[in-house]
Amino acid sequence: MPRRETGGLDTDRAREIAEECYDDVLAYCRRHAPAGHEAADLAQETFLRFVRARGYRERGKPIAYLMRIARSVCVDACRERRLKTVSLEFEVAAGERDGREADLDLALERLPGELREIVELRFGLGLGVSEVAQALGISRFAARRRIKAALKVLEEDLKVMGKAERSRLKIELSQHYSAQREKAGPNTIDSLARAMAAEDARISRARGRRMGFAPFVASQVRYVPPWTWVAQLGIVALMLAAANSTADASFAKLVVGVLSAATVLVGVPSVHASKLHDVAELEYSCPSNAASVMVARLIVLGCSSSLVVALMVGAVASSLDADALSVALCACPPFFCSCAGSLALIRRAAPSSAAVLCWAWAAACCAVLIALASMWPDMYGTASLASWIAAAAAALAWLVREVAVLVRAASAGLDAFSPQMAKTYH
């Protein structure tokens, strides 16, 4: 995992990173850049994004972190052009390679995309299993399993038999990718190092002018769609109508519980936006990173949803001359459960299905509440207050945990918050 440091990036350190990693990053971009894109431009963008994610450095080789960024840069370029990636291999005259190398080229071409890339990272760049896992955003177990699967396919395709031939295949793979790597000239390295140092200085100046957290949270209000506020006002109006149309306090408390669970859905699209639109990495690379954006939106929408619940509680208490505390206790458990479950689904589900699952979860919370009310007539009576307090405490504990886990996932950086992004690469 990346770790945070406070030091800047001077030209000498930038040159060390460029000399160590530029050739590998450029070779990777050449193999994966869409037609019409200059691989050198994508490679430079990779290093600049590395700098923009200021303060994050690898405990091991920077190349693993850089390759993870390079993958994202190539994905962005492919999406922009909507074109297929260029051939994995450079054009080599038929007479310049022997039959074995030609067979290896064909075998690599026939590999599925995810297996071909893992072979490239493991044997072309010499990354360890942990570094391969980090570059791809997968677990070490998954990385090890893919490496074994790729080697097995290659061995069957090339009819490799015995331990000696398997060892030779690994050496040939390393040599195969090494032959494609071009050594960058000193002018290229110096130019890149200066660009990295200049970008780091620019980021430093921008951070010095950055707004405080409170103004940043306030600024997130403008990114919440206007319909969100309209919908929340509509929920309050619906509660007012229900409270004024009934004299049954138990029914009114049931309605406030159902609407409290439903009000969570209004904020789901805004909390879900970064993951849905694959901009978690972009936010991570900015001074206000993905974790800051997530916290700010949770604060804004949490406060507005809490205000909606408070207004509904006040409406019921005022209309029916009921105790506001007892009404609030009936609203809190469904509200907290709906919030916690929705945050868990946003974190775990695929972007395309998360919103639908959140709706289903809120509907399930409402259905359970209605079912309990029908089976337990005294559920909203004074004798049940202790049960409501216990339920509210348990639901709040779950909500706090889900908020902490969601923010921690966002702060992991790049596409860790959105692992489905990696699956769209091939």
Helix (H) or strand (E) holding 56: strand 56-57
Q: How many CA atoms lie within 13 A of 111 on its CB side?
A: 28
Band (pLDDT 50/70/90 cuts) for residue 232 is: confident
Average pLDDT of the segment spanning 181-187: 81
More confident call, 310 vs 99: 310
pLDDT at 5: 41
- Alpha-carbon gap, residue 260 to 334, rounded angstroms: 7
Average pLDDT of the segment spanning 110-132: 83
- Alpha-carbon gap, residue 312 to 260, rounded angstroms: 8
Predicted confidence (pLDDT) at residue 66 exceeds the cutoff of 60: yes
Q: In the 8-state DSSP scheme, what is residue 224?
A: S
Residues 190 and 269 sit within 8 Å (Cβ to Cβ): no
Nearest by Cα to 176 from 120, 214, 115: 120
Which residues partner with 85 through β-bridges? 34
Band (pLDDT 50/70/90 cuts) for residue 396 is: very high
Domain spans of the chain, in order of start: 3-204, 211-423
Band (pLDDT 50/70/90 cuts) for residue 98 is: low
Helix (H) or strand (E) holding 380: none
Sign of the C-alpha dihedral, residues 109, 110, 112, 115? negative
Residues 308 and 263 sit within 8 Å (Cβ to Cβ): yes
Global pTM value: 0.50
Tokens of 120: 């490239």
pLDDT digits (tens, 9 = 90+) for 238-275: 888 888 888 888 888 888 888 888 888 777 766 655 55
Band (pLDDT 50/70/90 cuts) for residue 358 is: confident
pLDDT at 393: 93
Predicted confidence (pLDDT) at residue 417 exceeds the cutoff of 50: no
Band (pLDDT 50/70/90 cuts) for residue 279 is: very low
Tokens of 27: 């070779």
Report the percent of the chain where pLDDT is more than 90.
6
Lowest-confidence pick of 7-21, 145-159, 198-212, 329-343: 198-212
Tokens of 56: 């994050």
Band (pLDDT 50/70/90 cuts) for residue 420 is: very low
SS3 of residue 330 by DSSP: helix
Tokens of 278: 């694959």
pLDDT digits (tens, 9 = 90+) for 301-342: 888 888 889 999 888 888 888 888 888 888 899 999 999 998
pLDDT digits (tens, 9 = 90+) for 157-168: 888 777 788 788
- Alpha-carbon gap, residue 150 to 131, rounded angstroms: 17
More confident call, 51 vs 396: 396
Lowest-confidence pick of 76-90, 247-261, 356-370: 76-90
Residues 264 and 335 sit within 8 Å (Cβ to Cβ): yes
pLDDT at 208: 55
SS3 of residue 4 by DSSP: strand
- Alpha-carbon gap, residue 281 to 72, rounded angstroms: 8
